[in-house]
Structure 1
Amino acid sequence: MRVAMHQPHYLPWLGLIDKIDRCDLFVVLDHVQYERRGWQNRNYIASKSGPVLLSVPVIQRSRNERIMDKLINNDQPWREKHRRTLAEHAYRGAPFFDRFGKDCLSLYDTEWERLIDLSMATTRMLLTGFGITTPIVHASELGDFPGQKSELLAQICAKVGATVMLSGDGARDYVDQGLFQRYGIGVEWQNFQHPEYPQQGRGKDGFLPRMAALDLLMNVGPDGLGLLRAARAPTAGD
């Protein structure tokens, strides 16, 4: 049983969607510390003039706040800004805007209080669009885990019955594979390869990688999942 884990992201990028698609169960790490100036509350979309960063304003309280407790600052008119940018400057006229634009833009009808609820709504919207049905659980729902770093991840894997953890390549420097072995869990590396695809208004030489996965959905639709899978290198295990 292959399990993957990651912090929730607003409008997640393709690497996270790929990780969810590759595993048998995805665990949302909502109980860990919120990362300031990270990617949990923002991402890029491709507009007609280039990348545009969409950021959700959050309320800064303690540096030790957990992701699941992070509140959105709704005193700022961010929802209308994001809705207008997506509809008017990015994806209106894209091949699949008529099919998925309504579901995307309707997310901004809700005044979200917690960042995690918004992040997971954007994630589930994308998974539904691509036809990905991987079960998802939140770490906060699984109980308390006393471990830190690699041991925390190994304890979560053991809790859900994993035999393999699928990890992003950026974690190679801190994942202790020996510790996972003591829990009876193997480690595989995602080795993510970014696909190229037609982007509205951009030639091949102008392709913008690492945009929110919404970009692939709006430009290619559900068939984008096939492009994502076709671009994969073999999953690597050391």
Structure 2
Amino acid sequence: MALVVYAGVGWGGLWIISSKLSKVENILLSTTYFGPVQWYQKLHRAKSVQIEQWENFSKQTYRNRCLIATTNGVQTLTVPVEHGDSLLIKDIRISDHGNWRHLHWNALKSAYGESPFFEYYQDDIRPFFEQRWTFLLDFNEAIRQKICELIDIQPVVSLTEMYMPDVSEKDYRETIRPKHPVSDSDFLLKPYYQVYKEKYGFLPNLSILDLLMNMGPEGIYYL
């Protein structure tokens, strides 16, 4: 397959990134809350993507949590849900417990307020913490659509019409997860500029917000 090489000078200095010219496969993903860079790389590189809505909700996954870089290291932001056990992901309702919207937005401001692109993107991201969604899947899909707009990718995405236990597409529903992730040789990430890089070194595969706030329009070249 043909390759194209992008090169230039950005916030992280000289970068050289190879990207495939043509899409490579049809894939299956779980829904995510401001999903990790790996998830968005899959989204960007696939011919088409199905997002699973008929699976049972799984706790402690990216379905309702994301990871961000803070002055104290990596922090987990979790969206509380109502009665998640044994419910289909499409039926999971967001809980208003604990004033989480306010806490998440304040955490993002604290973490990325000094990043190069926070002021540029904050008006696009803030509404997700001011409005209320009933269902987690709808909330995540609204986030996905906005993030795709901001990083300028146009994936072909649909929701599954039934649960897919055996699929011909590449199945990443349980591969991309915060704890004990499955090895993924297709996931290649070049280190990029991060606000706390001198303190912690490069922190890989955080929320797409980390890439967006630190690299801005150049973020697409890391997907």
2:101 aligned residue: 79
The alignment partner of 1:5 has SS state of: strand
* Matched residue type, 1:77: N
1:47 aligned residue: 70
Q: CA RMSD in A?
A: 2.2
2:155 aligned residue: 134
Aligned length: 192
User: 2: CA distance between counterparts of 1:107 and 1:122?
Assistant: 8
With over 3 angstroms needed to count, the CA separation of the structure-2 counterparts of 1:70 and 1:169, relative to structure 1, is closer
User: 2: CA distance between counterparts of 1:193 and 1:204?
Assistant: 23
Aligned partner (choices 198, 205, 210) of residue 203 of structure 1: 198
The alignment partner of 1:149 has SS state of: coil
User: 2: CA distance between counterparts of 1:167 and 1:19?
Assistant: 11
Paired residues of 2:28 and 2:172 also in contact (CA < 8 A): no
1:224 aligns with 2:219: yes
* Deviation of the 1:217 alpha carbon: 0.6
* Deviation of the 1:202 alpha carbon: 2.4
User: 1: CA distance between counterparts of 2:26 and 2:221?
Assistant: 21
Paired residues of 1:168 and 1:190 also in contact (CA < 8 A): no
Paired residues of 2:69 and 2:196 also in contact (CA < 8 A): no
User: 2: CA distance between counterparts of 1:83 and 1:90?
Assistant: 10
With over 3 angstroms needed to count, the CA separation of the structure-2 counterparts of 1:201 and 1:2, relative to structure 1, is closer
* Matched residue type, 2:220: L
2:145 aligned residue: 124
Q: 1:161-215, CA deviations, whole angstroms, 9 ceiling, x for partnerless residues?
A: xxxx3444976xxxxxxxxxxxxxxxxx861122211101322862111210110
1:149 aligns with 2:165: yes
Structure 1 alignment gaps of length 5 or more = 155-164, 172-188, 229-238
* Deviation of the 1:223 alpha carbon: 0.9
With over 3 angstroms needed to count, the CA separation of the structure-2 counterparts of 1:44 and 1:112, relative to structure 1, is same
- With the length of structure 2 as denominator, give the TM-score of the two structures: 0.78
1:70 aligned residue: 92
With over 3 angstroms needed to count, the CA separation of the structure-2 counterparts of 1:2 and 1:72, relative to structure 1, is same
Structure 2 alignment gaps of length 5 or more = 1-23, 176-183
* Matched residue type, 1:218: M
Which structure has the greater CA radius of gyration? 1
With over 3 angstroms needed to count, the CA separation of the structure-2 counterparts of 1:197 and 1:78, relative to structure 1, is same
More helix by share: 1
2:116 aligned residue: 95
1:236 aligned residue: none
User: 1: CA distance between counterparts of 2:150 and 2:103?
Assistant: 23
